[in-house]
Amino acid sequence: MLKIAETAVVFAEVPDEVTLALNISECPCHCKDCHSKHLWKSIGIPLTYGVIDELIKRNRGITCIAFMGGDSDPKEVNKLAYLIKTRSDYPYKIAWYSGMNELSTEIDLSIFDYIKLGPYIKENGPLDNPNTNQRFYSVEESWNDSKNPTYKLVDNTHLFWKTELCQN
C-alpha cells in the first residue's frame, strides 16, 4: 500500500494548473542527488481514496492532482487516479511524476493528463534546465479508427524552459 508523507498546493509542477501534490514515501529510485531522501523511508499514512477525497475538500481551487512518486506500486497509482477521475464531482487533471526512465506497463494512459519521467541527475538539472534528462509529457488522445481511441505521450518539457522575450 502506498503511503502519503506530505501534501502541498503548488503552481510550478504542472504548467497552467493549481496542483495538489501528493508526496508518496517508499521511493525505490534512490536518485543520487535526491532532494527528498526522507521519502525513501516508509513514512506517512496509507494513501486511500478517502484520504484523497478529504484533501480535495480541504484544498478548494485546485485543478490538478499529482502523484509525486509511487514507483513502488504503479498499479495502485493507476487505481487511485482512476477513482479520482470517476468519483469526483470536478474533472481534475491527473499527473504522475515517476523517477523511472520508462512508464510502467501497469499505467493506463487514458486516466492521466500528464506524466513526468526520469530520475533527478544533478549534472543535468531539473525540468527548467534545457539539459535535463527528465521529460514532462502531456497525454493526448487520438482516434485511429472510429471506435477505439489511442493515447500517446507528447513531450512538453520545453514548457518549463525560460525564454527571452523579443525586445523592440
Higher pLDDT, 88 or 11: 11
Is 168 part of any domain? no
The answer as to whether 151 is a domain residue is yes
Is 166 part of a structural domain of the chain? no
Cα–Cα distance, 85 to 94 (Å, whole number): 8
In a domain, 138, yes or no: yes
Q: What is the pTM of this model?
A: 0.92
Query: What pLDDT, in 10s, does the model give residues 7-22?
Result: 999 999 999 999 999 9
Average pLDDT, integer, range 21-30: 96
Would you say 31 and 39 are in contact if contact means Cβ atoms under 8 Å apart? no
Q: Residue 122 falls within a domain, yes or no?
A: yes
Over residues 107-112, mean pLDDT: 95
Q: How many domains does the chain have?
A: 1
Q: Is the pLDDT of residue 146 over 80?
A: no
Residue 18 domain-assigned (yes or no): yes
Does 114 fall in a domain? Answer: yes
User: What is the residue range of 103's domain?
Assistant: 3-160
Assigned C-alpha cell, 160: 518549463
For 112-116, the CB contacts below 8 A with 24+ separation are 112/81, 112/139, 113/64, 113/138, 113/139, 114/14, 114/64, 114/66, 114/138, 114/139, 115/139, 115/153
Residue 164's pLDDT is: 57
| Residue 25 in domain | yes
